[in-house]
């Protein structure tokens, strides 16, 4: 037995388990269910493994980490050949690509949340000012709301439009969604500014339709601190500011929700950012 083990460089269960950085009982269990058997059984019933089995065990572990059941792995192992192996690799590679993209999306969302939260923490009261935005931004738009009232923002109709926008564009619920309103319909004295036109999310140019380019340049910014129901007060201050400076405003106002229920327990400290281009 020792000569055979020396020539074949066989390892005991404990030695092979240490090589694979796993507990011994995993190897014993895999043997019992017929998933991964040792190279040889000794007369004493001990299991002995070959170094050549290492890559096979690593592959089994990788497939398990990718969510493949032990039964399916066993089926593959019992029927494996180069073609089946390549097909399996291609399938798992595709699954990994999707997982990586999802993780990248979550990371982008986290980065955006960090930046917007830092920005929101600057403001403790509502204010209006001008700023120069340096770059164009591409926005993916929903279908036109047909003057859906924001007073209905908590109704089934509005939520349904929100859900449709996400599902129809295969978006993730983590996407940072804002609202757009035509500036020629903003009337803070009658509250008809509550007639919104579109949902939007920042995106790239990968979409072929429903893209709006928010151009770089000077913008009138309104920071609303407080309940959303009182946002008309900030719109009013923006209109007064623009009239005093004889500004010509662009076609749309854009609402972005900097601090909301996700980050604040008190709605009185919510922060909403309103952007209107200055022509």
**For residue range 190-223, what is the model confidence (pLDDT) as tens digits?**
655 557 888 888 887 666 678 899 999 999 999 9
How does the average pLDDT of the chain come out, rounded? Answer: 85
| Residues 237-260, mean pLDDT to the nearest whole number | 94
- The size of the chain, in residues, is 279
| Residue 178: other Cβ atoms inside 10 A | 18
Query: Model-level pTM?
Result: 0.68
The token duo for 50 is: 């070959």
DSSP string, 85-134: HHHHHHHHHHHHHHHHHHHHHHHHHHHHHHHHHHHHTT-SS-EEEEEEE-
| Residues 253-272, mean pLDDT to the nearest whole number | 90
| Residues 226-249, mean pLDDT to the nearest whole number | 93
């Amino acid at each position: 037995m020792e000569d055979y083990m020396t020539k074949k460089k066989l390892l005991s269960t404990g030695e092979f388990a240490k090589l694979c950085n796993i507990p011994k009982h995993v190897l014993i269990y895999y043997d019992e269910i017929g998933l991964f058997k040792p190279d040889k059984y000794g007369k004493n019933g001990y299991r002995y493994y070959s170094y050549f089995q290492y890559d096979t065990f690593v592959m089994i572990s990788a497939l398990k980490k990718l969510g493949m059941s032990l039964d399916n792995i066993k089926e593959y192992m019992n029927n494996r050949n180069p073609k089946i192996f390549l097909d399996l690799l291609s399938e798992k590679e595709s699954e990994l690509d999707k997982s990586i993209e999802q993780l990248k999306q979550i990371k982008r969302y986290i980065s955006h949340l960090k930046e917007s939260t830092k920005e929101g923490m600057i403001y403790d009261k509502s204010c209006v000012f001008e700023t120069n935005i340096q770059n164009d931004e591409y926005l993916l738009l929903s279908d036109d709301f047909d003057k859906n009232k924001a007073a209905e923002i908590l109704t089934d109709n509005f939520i349904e439009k929100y859900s449709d926008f996400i599902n129809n564009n295969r978006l993730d619920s983590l996407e940072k969604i804002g609202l757009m309103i035509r500036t020629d319909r903003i009337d803070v004295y009658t509250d008809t500014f509550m007639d919104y036109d579109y949902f939007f999310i920042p995106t790239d140019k990968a979409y072929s339709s429903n893209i709006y380019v928010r151009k770089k340049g000077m913008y009138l910014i309104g920071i609303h601190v407080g309940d959303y129901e009182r946002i008309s007060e900030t719109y009013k201050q923006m209109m007064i500011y623009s009239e005093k400076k004889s500004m010509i405003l662009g076609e749309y106002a854009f609402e972005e929700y900097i601090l909301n229920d996700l980050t604040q327990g008190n709605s009185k400290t919510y922060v909403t950012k309103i952007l209107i281009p200055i022509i």
